Amino acid sequence: MIGGVGVVTIVDVAKHAGVAPSTVSYVLTGKRPVSAETRLRVRESIRLLGYHPHAGARALASSRTNVLALVLPLREGVHLPVVMRFVTSVVTAAREHDMDVLLVTADQGAAGLRRVAVGARVDGFLVMDVGLDDERIPVLRELGRPAVLLGYPAAVKGLTCVDLDFGAAGARCVDHLAELGHRSIGFLGAPGVVYARNTGFAQRTLAGFSAAVMRRGIASTALPVEQRRDAVHAVVATLLRELPRMTALVVHNEAVLGWVVDCLRAAGRRVPDDVAVVAICPDELAEQLRLTSVELPSEVLGRRAVELLMAKLNGQQPPPLTLLPPNLSSRTGFAASAAG
């Protein structure tokens, strides 16, 4: 407490505890053994003086920043609440590994990645919403920094990717409905633009769905859905026309899910009595609408991604692709109330 609020350095702590600065460092990092007695004394001095290591100095000396970059997508068609939930789970998980999170928005693009990496601002990258032919992947490869991708491109060799197994999710919905006896199942997906830009997860879900209905000889029609109420109305009408005996519907588009149900009811179909709806969406939303669903596990994904990244930072080599198995929750309870 020499200069008032001024910075307490490791030297101050060392003096106060009667040891060398290096010993304090070893107490802090645990990189060399320190006798129990000394460790206790140093800890006490740290507490007493209110010492906090200077992040910049540490980064300079150890070339480790304890910060990871979270690269966010900001394109249209991504569901903001899902992103947000994901972000918070990443921050929480990162803190458990004593890491902070630096936000990089994807509109800064590849240049943003390069800036952050070369400036030694972060130890590694978490890249969200990776498309099938993502421009950021070559940059990431070139930078050679540890990175974990959410979503995955065609060739995952040399990468570390994690995602929900959307193909299995699509199939899981069909299996569930088939077991309930449905023989004619519709599919409503993401907006057309999402399919057009090769986003991977949308295609994979559809592919899983299609393969499953084909395998079981189930009649089906699949359509993309735009995020406008009138568009939803139109597409539901189309579906009911094209697939008149439809008794079940798989929806992979959380933004319009509520409207889809509304439109079905408006068209005189009871949900789930006449049309069983299975959604692929965050649990919370499905819970609210009382729909059977395959969960979009943002929290688990975020946490898993952080853990994979930490593994890489510690020199391990996790598998190039981790797919989380889909988890279907049946919610056949009573139908939703209210408007109709």
- Contact residues toward DNA (CB under 7 A) are 7, 9-11, 18-26, 28-29, 31-35, 37-39, 51-54, 57-58, 60-62
Q: Which of residues 20, 60, 214, 335 is near a copy of itself by CB under 8 A?
A: 60
Residue 127 interacts with which of DNA, a copy of itself, none, CB < 5 to 8 Å by class: none
Residue 92 interacts with which of a copy of itself, DNA, none, CB < 5 to 8 Å by class: a copy of itself
Residue 259 interacts with which of DNA, a copy of itself, none, CB < 5 to 8 Å by class: a copy of itself
Radius of gyration of the chain (CA): 26
Span from 50-58, 157-165, 269-277, 312-320 in contact with a copy of itself (CB under 8 A): 50-58
Indicate the burial class of 146 (C-beta count within 10 angstroms; 0-12, 13-18, 19 or more): buried
Q: How far is the CB of 121 from a copy of itself (least distance, A)?
A: 5
- Position 316, amino acid: Q
Residue 119 or 244 having the CB closest to a copy of itself: 119
**Distance, CA of 222 to CA of 138 (rounded, Å):** 34
Written as six digits, the tokens of 172 are: 């899981």
**Distance, CA of 184 to CA of 208 (rounded, Å):** 16
**Distance, CA of 241 to CA of 234 (rounded, Å):** 11
Span from 70-78, 218-226, 244-252, 316-324 in contact with a copy of itself (CB under 8 A): 70-78
**Distance, CA of 11 to CA of 169 (rounded, Å):** 57
H or E segment to which residue 30 belongs: none
Q: How far is the CB of 24 from DNA (least distance, A)?
A: 7
Residue 41 or 303 having the CB closest to DNA: 41
**Distance, CA of 179 to CA of 227 (rounded, Å):** 31
Written as six digits, the tokens of 225 are: 């859905």
Q: Where are the strands (E) in 73-218, listed by range? A: 100-105, 124-127, 147-150, 161-164, 184-189
C-alpha dist (Å) from residue 266 to 107, 249, 263, 271: 40, 16, 5, 11
Q: How far is the CB of 280 from a copy of itself (least distance, A)?
A: 19
Which residue(s) pair with 293 in the sheet? 279, 329
Residue 217 interacts with which of a copy of itself, DNA, none, CB < 5 to 8 Å by class: none
Residues that bind a copy of itself (CB under 8 A): 5, 7, 50, 52-60, 65, 67, 70, 72, 74, 80-81, 83-85, 87-88, 91-92, 95, 100-105, 107-108, 112, 115-116, 118-121, 144, 228-230, 232-233, 258-259, 262-263, 265-266, 288, 336-340
